[in-house]
Amino acid sequence: MVEEREASGGDAGALQASAWDRFHSQHSATPFFKARRYLLQEFPVLGTRGKTLTVLEVGCGGGASALPLLQSNQDVRVAACDFAASAVRAAQQAAVDAGAR
């Protein structure tokens, strides 16, 4: 479930949010960033099954980092946030499309 909250920052924050929303809307049909599978190589504990892990991804974009984690280890829980609500929606949809929980 996507929980949307207004970003603070006044006019500058609204301008940035709008720019990121446009970016993610333009690239929603095809992923802009390739899946970042290197996280499992750099942090092998993320691939350890049988141990529940929670990962916070700040600036999740379309889920390029979170999705490979979810696909490789069913015991990983990812909390992801982004400045643009459209990015969070795209990441959530990518997870659903990939069959990740």
Q: Quote the tokens at residue 22.
A: 């446009």
Q: Looking at residue 28, what is its pLDDT?
A: 64
Read off the pLDDT of residues 26-68 as tens digits, 9 standing for 90 and up.
766 666 566 677 888 898 888 888 888 899 999 888 888 888 8
Residue 63's nearest CA partner among 41, 44, 35, 37 is 35
Read off the pLDDT of residues 68-101 as tens digits, 9 standing for 90 and up.
888 888 898 999 998 888 888 888 888 898 888 6
Counted domains in the chain = 1
Q: Between helices 10-26 and 85-97, what is the axis angle to 10°? A: 30
Q: Looking at residue 10, what is its pLDDT?
A: 65
**Domain span holding position 21:** 10-97
Cα 47 from Cα 69, distance rounded (Å): 8
Q: Looking at residue 79, what is its pLDDT?
A: 92
Q: Is residue 3 part of a domain?
A: no
With the CA atoms of 42, 43, 47 and 49 taken in that order, what torsion angle do they form, in degrees rounded to the nearest 10? 160
Q: Looking at residue 14, what is its pLDDT?
A: 75
Q: Looking at residue 64, what is its pLDDT?
A: 86
Q: Is residue 67 part of a domain?
A: yes
Distances (CA, A) of 99 to 11, 48, 58, 64, 94: 38, 20, 22, 15, 9
From first CA to last CA, the distance across the chain in angstroms is 11
Q: Is residue 76 part of a domain?
A: yes
